[in-house]
Structure 1
């Protein structure tokens, strides 16, 4: 299982390679975003660990380039307390972030949580297809389209969409989304789910009837609306 570790600090890379190797991962290294893009052009990776502060090409710039070409999951490594980097990363399609310095076990847990939700099952079939008013989700390949046009969702955005469709016309809390999609408890002031849902809202095309696809429910979370609810209705 191959990962790409992108960090300009050789000592940190060496420590993480040792840690990840013990967990059974094969790790390629890149010292900046430019080298990372070169490796991505030649290899396929299950996940990218991407530091933000790097020379030549920083992590935010690299993430922009990555998302234009690849759907590979990205775990951003940010400086503790640097909310701007985290928000930018999530807006650009990072699947999750982890602030430095971090606990080794938490890093492994985050990686495994992302990989669990991005694993595509080999067997395709009707049981893997969700149809909802023009939206078609393939839960095996983690791909979504609307009326035949791909939505180009990240795996995290796909997970959010899948969960709120599964509970159509019901409120889905941010805590629930964080646990079931990101695999972590939502901490105070954590805006990860808000950013992923905002990105999802931007990627969903206009609905045929002109209504919104889902509502933000103040203090409750989000609710995907069926046609009969879209114009207004009681949401459980």
Structure 2
């Protein structure tokens, strides 16, 4: 479906990975982006190529509810409406569950689940109350195939994505049809993104080196996978998501 006027997108986590890829895809297709990330200077290369009427860069920490609300308010001031929210901000670290301090695990949940939840609720409110009545909008949740089955090392990451998936399924049932709000839950498989090569942030658990442990095999398999060409290219996944947002 071709839209008669350019849609306005609000994308979180634009510094790299899926956020950056979707940002570039949307701009390439002539639509408007409010790009949010912790350090907007990371997008200086794009800022010089587009007018503020095409690309607006805003700082955002999704764990800060006041800042989330402020970003949506600035979007309203700048463009009058938001049509698509691409809820992408997330973090990943690879480590055995036993080796991860609980405060670091909580911090991961704060970003990947509570941060995504905060953006989701503000998006739904905005679609209902700030957009033209009945216009609604689309909320795209970037989850992960990893949430379907837990695997050693990204255990807390998969837990956050499983929680987000359940939340999104319920939210999709609870929004009223009259609001015209559509939710799209995206579950990418293994894709070449910077986080694929990230290292554990804590020393590995002692048990991880035991021959009978699951993690040595998982480490070897992961390292071999990252260095192979088996992962999908992020552009192909992003283009597919883009095409789905064009429907309806």
Whether these two folds match at TM > 0.5 is no
Larger relative CO (CA 8 A, sep 6+): 1 or 2? 2
Higher helix share: 2
Query: Could you state the TM-score of these two structures normalised by the residue count of structure 2?
Result: 0.28
Higher strand share: 1
Query: Could you state the TM-score of these two structures normalised by the residue count of structure 1?
Result: 0.29
